[in-house]
C-alpha cells in the first residue's frame, strides 16, 4: 500500500521552484532604472551579510550537535552569567542593526526627493483600476502609463476610495495611494519596453485584478502619443452602420453614467469608470486583466462582475445584438 503524502510537501516544492523563475515580469530584483537599482544596492549587501551570519550560526550549531552528543558524554561548560558573553551578544547585534539602519534611512530619504526636471503625472487609484492623468494635456490613460525613456517621472498619487498601493517592481518600490493625501513616487526607465505594475495593498474583492502597465517609449514617440491622446472621438453619422448602432447603445444603455468619450459624451454623474476616448488603443482592459479582443470584450460586457468580482460596472442585461454593436463601436475608439 502506498503512503499518502501530505499536499503541503508539494506546496513547498512549488514555492521553491517559483522562486527560481527567471525573466518574471514582476521580478523586483531585476532593476531597470536608478530608483529600483538603489533599492537593490541596499538589499544585496545586507542579504550577503545575512548569508554569512546564517552560515556561522549553522556551523556552530552543527559543531555543538556533534561535539556534545550522547556518545562523547562531554558536558558543555556552564557559562551562565558570563559578562563577556553578555556584552558580545548585545553589542554585535546593535552594531549590525546600526550598519543596516544608516544606509536604509539614507536610501529612503533619497527615494523621496523629487528631481527638478521630473515630469509630473497623476495616479488615481480606485476599485479596481489605476487612472493616469496628464494634467498639462488634460488626458487620462486608464491602466496604461506611457513615459519617455531616461526621464525622471514624479507620480503624484491619490485614491478615490480605499488605500491602494502602486508598484512597478522593475522601476521602484511600492507606495501607498491614500484618499485625500498626496503621496509621491519617482520612476525612471533606462530601457524601452513594457513594465508590469500591480496594486500592492489588499483593497477588496478584485485587488488581484488591479493591474497596470508602464510603457516606456522614445521621446519622439511620447510626444506623438500625447498628441494622439488629446484627439477627440469623431462620431459616425452614417445611420444603420454597426458603429452607429453601437454609439446609440452606448448613449442609451447606461454607459454614459460612468464613462466619458471626449468629443462624444459627458458623463451624467461623477466620473466613476475609465475614460474610453482611446479605449482600443490600449492592448488590455478591465484593470489590465484582459487582452483587448472582441471575445474578451463580449464576455466582459455580458457580465462584468462575473469576470471582475465586485466590479462597479454592473451587468446591464444587454441583448446579444447590443453587445455585438457595442463591441463594434468600442473597437473604433483608437
Ligand atoms: Cu487596489 Cu489592491
* Measured CA distances, 142 to 27, 44, 97, 169, 274 (Å): 23, 35, 42, 19, 6
Q: What would the pLDDT profile of 296-316 be if each residue is shown by its tens digit? A: 999 999 999 999 999 999 999
pLDDT band per the 50, 70, 90 thresholds, residue 1: very low
Strands (E), the chain: 119-126, 129-134, 139-142, 144-148, 153-159, 164-167, 175-177, 183-187, 193-199, 211-217, 284-285, 290-291
Instruction: Based on DSSP, count helices (H) and strands (E) in the chain, helices before strands.
Output: 8, 12
Cα 264 to ligand 1 centre (Å)? 31
CA distances (Å), 167 to each of 125, 170, 196, 289, in order?
12, 9, 8, 16
**Average pLDDT for 48-70:** 89
Is-contact 226 134, C-beta < 8 A? yes
What does pLDDT average to over the chain?
A: 91
Measured distance CA(234)–CA(261) in Å, rounded? 10
178 CA → ligand 1 middle, Å = 11
In short, whether 207's Cβ falls inside 6 Å of ligand 1 is yes
Torsion of CA 166, 168, 173, 179, to 10 degrees: -10
Q: Is the CB of 199 under 6 A from ligand 1?
A: yes
| Cβ 211 under 6 angstroms from ligand 1 | no
Express each pLDDT in 232-280 by its tens digit. 999 888 888 889 999 999 999 989 888 999 999 887 665 689 999 999 9
* Domains along the chain with CATH numbers: 26-70+114-228 (2.60.40.420), 242-330 (2.60.40.420)
Whether the predicted pLDDT of 186 surpasses 70? yes
pTM for the model stands at 0.86
Q: Which residue has the cell 475609465?
A: 274
From the CA of 200, how far away is ligand 1's center (Å)? Answer: 6
Calpha distance 145→232 (Å, rounded): 19
* pLDDT of res. 3: 54
> Which residues, other chains included, contact 147 with Cβ-Cβ below 8 Å and sequence gap of 6+?
119, 121, 153, 187, 189, 214, 215, 216, 217, 222
Ligand 1 atom closest to the Cα of residue 165 is: 1
Q: For ligand 1, atom 1, which residue shows the shortest CA distance?
A: 164
Q: Please report the atom of ligand 1 found closest to the CA of residue 163.
A: 1
- Yes or no: say if 222 and 146 are a contact pair by the CB < 8 Å rule: yes
> 3-state DSSP: the chain helix, strand, coil percent, rounded to 5?
40, 20, 40
Nearest-atom number in ligand 1 for the CA of 162 is: 1
In contact, 178 and 158? CB cutoff 8 Å: yes
Residue written as cell 488634460?
Answer: 138
Residues 199, 128: contact at Cβ < 8 Å? yes
Please report, rounded to a whole number, the percentage of residues in the chain having pLDDT higher than 70. Answer: 96
175 touches ligand 1 (CB under 6 Å): no
Q: Is the CB of residue 164 below 6 angstroms from any atom belonging to ligand 1?
A: yes
pLDDT > 60? residue 202:
yes
Cβ of 203 below 6 Å from ligand 1:
yes
Question: Does the beta carbon of 201 lie inside 6 Å of ligand 1?
Answer: yes
Amino acid at each position: 500500500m502506498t503512503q499518502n503524502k501530505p499536499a503541503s510537501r508539494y506546496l513547498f516544492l512549488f514555492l521553491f521552484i517559483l522562486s527560481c523563475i527567471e525573466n518574471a515580469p514582476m521580478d523586483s530584483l531585476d532593476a531597470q532604472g536608478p530608483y529600483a537599482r538603489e533599492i537593490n544596492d541596499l538589499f544585496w549587501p545586507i542579504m550577503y551579510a545575512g548569508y554569512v551570519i546564517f552560515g556561522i550560526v549553522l556551523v556552530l550549531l552543527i559543531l555543538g550537535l556533534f561535539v556534545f552528543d550522547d556518545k562523547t558524554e562531554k558536558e558543555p561548560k556552564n557559562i551562565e552569567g558570563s559578562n563577556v558573553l553578555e556584552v558580545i551578544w548585545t553589542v554585535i547585534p546593535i552594531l549590525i542593526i546600526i550598519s543596516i539602519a544608516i544606509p536604509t534611512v539614507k536610501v529612503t530619504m533619497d527615494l523621496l526627493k523629487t528631481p527638478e526636471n521630473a515630469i509630473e503625472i497623476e495616479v488615481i487609484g480606485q476599485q479596481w483600476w489605476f487612472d493616469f492623468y496628464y494634467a498639462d494635456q488634460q488626458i487620462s490613460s486608464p491602466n496604461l502609463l506611457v513615459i519617455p525613456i531616461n526621464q525622471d517621472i514624479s507620480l503624484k498619487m491619490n485614491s478615490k476610495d480605499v488605500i491602494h498601493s502602486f508598484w512597478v517592481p522593475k522601476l521602484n518600490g511600492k507606495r501607498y495611494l491614500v484618499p485625500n493625501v498626496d503621496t509621491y513616487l519617482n520612476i525612471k526607465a533606462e530601457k524601452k519596453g513594457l513594465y508590469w505594475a500591480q496594486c500592492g495593498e489588499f483593497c477588496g474583492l478584485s485587488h488581484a485584478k488591479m493591474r497596470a502597465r508602464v510603457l516606456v517609449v522614445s521621446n519622439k514617440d511620447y510626444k506623438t502619443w500625447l498628441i494622439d491622446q488629446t484627439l477627440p472621438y469623431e462620431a459616425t453619422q452614417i445611420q444603420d452602420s454597426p458603429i452607429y448602432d453601437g454609439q446609440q447603445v452606448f448613449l442609451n444603455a447606461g454607459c454614459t453614467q460612468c464613462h466619458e468619450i471626449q468629443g462624444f459624451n459627458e458623463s451624467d454623474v461623477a466620473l466613476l469608470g475609465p475614460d474610453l476616448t482611446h479605449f482600443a488603443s490600449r492592448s488590455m482592459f478591465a484593470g489590465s486583466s484582459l487582452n483587448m479582443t472582441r471575445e474578451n470584450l463580449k464576455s466582459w460586457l455580458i457580465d462584468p462582475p462575473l469576470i471582475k468580482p465586485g466590479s462597479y460596472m454592473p451587468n446591464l442585461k444587454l441583448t446579444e445584438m447590443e453587445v455585438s454593436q457595442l463591441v463594434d463601436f468600442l473597437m473604433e475608439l483608437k
